[in-house]
Amino acid sequence: MAPNHGSKSGARHRNSSNSAVAAPATATAILAEARRLKQAAERKPDGIVSKQATLEQSARLFQNALNLPLSLPIQEEALFDLGEVFLLWSSSLQARRAIEAGSPFRGKIKKDQALDLQYQISINAANLSRQSFEMYERVWALEGRGELKQEALVNSGNSLCDWASLLASISEENGGGIAAAAERYNEADKRYAEALTSTPEDVELLTNVGDICVQRAELTATSVQQSGAPSGSQETWAAVRALYERGLQAYAAACAHADARVGDDVAGLLQNWGAGLLSLAERTPDLEESKEAYKVAQEKLRSAISFRPTDASLPIALGETLCSQAERFGNHPALQPEVLKLLEEAVNDGFGAALKINSANIEALLGLGDAHLAAGKLLHELGNPANAMLHWVQSSDAFLQVVKLLSADTEGEYTLSFEEQCDALYNLACAAALAGQQDNASKALHQLEQVDAISAKDLSEDSDLKGLQVQDWFVEMIQRLTPSKEQSKE
């Protein structure tokens, strides 16, 4: 179960069985080879080119077989398998995005080019998720009550979720956008609801419903924000809140039926439940409701950690929740002591705990850098520059370690996108500038300049970089990045 409310984990796989009704000899051979390739691809790591090539071959063979006369049971099984292949292919392609786009540390590609590559991959992956959905829908539409119809209904919802998550990052002119994503999530919700009529205590299905409701709530809130309407109005928030309430009820029901003894992923369920509460806490206009949601989210995540203490993603999620609460309430003077305590917990119980599990965890290091950076700024505002400096030095150290790991990553082990890697460099520059580490700040900013990932406006308006404005190299960089009159006219 994904803690960030992204796409579903994929199709519910089942072992292919020989149908009682024989297929034509040619079709039998084609389907056997298609399934062999599918199984071979499943054994390969996500993101590698050979996996996608194998899945493409498998899909082509399934499509060839489906053009031949087949009995209904064999047709049903072939369509189901093809739906799985398309969804696996989409997932593998998405895992490949960061590798295909390259890295700002290689200097071989500019930021705009990298983003264009990632965008095109998202479009291709969305098309594969759509085709997966269509295959499962064909299974559901077949005459009779086939053995795979219930599974196809669930997998249809999974494919819709994967498709929707991709559409949200694709422009309307390319068939994406918030409205299109929301519609796909709505369709998935209907399929899960129908599947629940047969298995009302299915923990995975209930968790999927919770995830969908949160995703729809977030899209609704974003749509309102983009329209310029007041997001905190009673009428607007009522629609969003209803989705959150239904989602949280689904998580509660899933948790009530979950049993680790039979293999239910209780820690993953609690992590998703915590993520749903975090989403509510960040968006509700009611500060008291927000504070309570943060509190319960942290309780769920701490419980998840007790179930799976060696999983670094769980303390990272806790750290992110604590930092989110600190950011939301940081502007309230009366709450600043509490905010400092939240950031301290994020460092110790969250990111620091994750780094004890894996000292090279990029996400934990990034979170640690952010938490120390925020704590330093708050302490400086409270008139404690000495302690602020200590936090800024620790923030710079964390981001510097991230940059070193990414610089040495020649095999694509770390899956940060090009833009996320640029963000890490920029955060290093800010933390280093505040800590008085001019060399580290200079190296990071020059790296960003090399890949066209920074502007003169960034440099001149960011208060974190104010201490660099007297440096000749910084002034020269702003001059290089300032468009000439001729460029401005173009």
CA atoms within 13 A on the CB side of 41: 29
Predicted local confidence at residue 6, as pLDDT: 41
The better pLDDT of the pair 181, 2 is held by: 181
Distance of CA 213 to the CA centre of its chain: 16
Confidence grade of residue 231 (pLDDT, cut at 50, 70, 90): low
Distance separating alpha carbons of residues 328 and 331, to the nearest angstrom: 7
Q: In which band, very low, low, confident or very high, does the pLDDT at 361 lie, cut at 50, 70 and 90?
A: very high
Residue pair 66/31 in contact by the 8 Å Cβ criterion:
no
Q: Is the pLDDT of residue 29 over 60?
A: yes
- pLDDT given at position 96: 86
pLDDT of residue 20: 41
Distance between CA atoms of residues 76 and 395, nearest Å: 56
What CA–CA distance (Å, rounded) separates 185 from 218? 11
| Residue predicted with more confidence, 17 or 401 | 401
> Apex CA 385: angle with CA 383 and CA 388, to 5°?
110
Q: E-assigned strands of 31-90?
A: none
Residue range 274-287, pLDDT digits in tens = 999 999 999 999 99
Residue 485 in this model has a pLDDT that exceeds 60: no
Domain layout of the chain by residue ranges = 200-308
3-class state of residue 43 by DSSP: coil
Instruction: Give the whole-number percent of the chain exceeding pLDDT 70.
Output: 91
Report the distance separating Cα 145 and Cα 335, nearest Å.
Answer: 60
What is the model's pLDDT at position 330?
87
Contacts of 411 (CB under 8 A, 6+ apart): none
Chain segment 34-81, per-residue pLDDT in tens: 999 999 999 998 878 899 999 999 999 999 999 999 999 999 999 999
